[in-house]
Structure formats: structure tokens, C-alpha cells
Amino acid sequence: MKLQSLWVFLKDFGRGLRSKSTDYVGFELREMENIFSLLLVGSFVGIPSPPSNISIRVMPYVIREMYVMNRRAGDMDDISGEIFGLFIG
């Protein structure tokens, strides 16, 4: 009986860890998309950017990132609050 309850506990614990890890990966993906977009159009805000011919060649492939950057600028949250929410929530 105790062995079965321990098995159920460990199974649920593993499921919880897996669900949290996907949240972390999703958050990391969003932040990487933001950094990539900022690198491509960083010259607009004064950040050194890659050579313009590379930016022009890559631009057709980053339409999604442009939408992501526009959306993130519209609903800017407290990024530290979002990070702490991943660990606490």
C-alpha cells in the first residue's frame, strides 16, 4: 500500500516537473525571439546592428518576429515579475 502511494506521488511529481519545464522553454523562446528582433531592427533605437545587407536578406524570414516584437511592445509586462511567476506559480 505504501509502495503504491509512493509510486503515485513520484509519478505526479514528475508530471509537475515536466509541465513546469515546458513553461520555462516557452518563456525562453519568447525572450530569444525578442532578442533576435532587437538585433535586426536595433539601429532604430541606437543599438549596433548587423550589416544592412544581412538584415535585408533575413527580413522576409522574420515577419513573425516583427509581429512578436510589435505585440510585446504593446503589452509590456514587468519582466522580473514574469520570471518570478514561473518559479512561484
Determine the pLDDT at residue 29: 82
Instruction: Determine the 3-state secondary structure of 23 from DSSP.
Output: helix
Q: What is the pLDDT of residue 7?
A: 87
Q: What is the pLDDT at residue 64?
A: 77
pLDDT of 23 reads 79
Q: Are 37 and 66 in contact (CB under 8 A)?
A: yes
pLDDT of residue 46: 77
Phi-psi group of 49: left, alpha or beta (phi > 0 → left; psi -120 to 50 → alpha; rest → beta): beta
Ranges of residues in the chain with a pLDDT under 50 are none
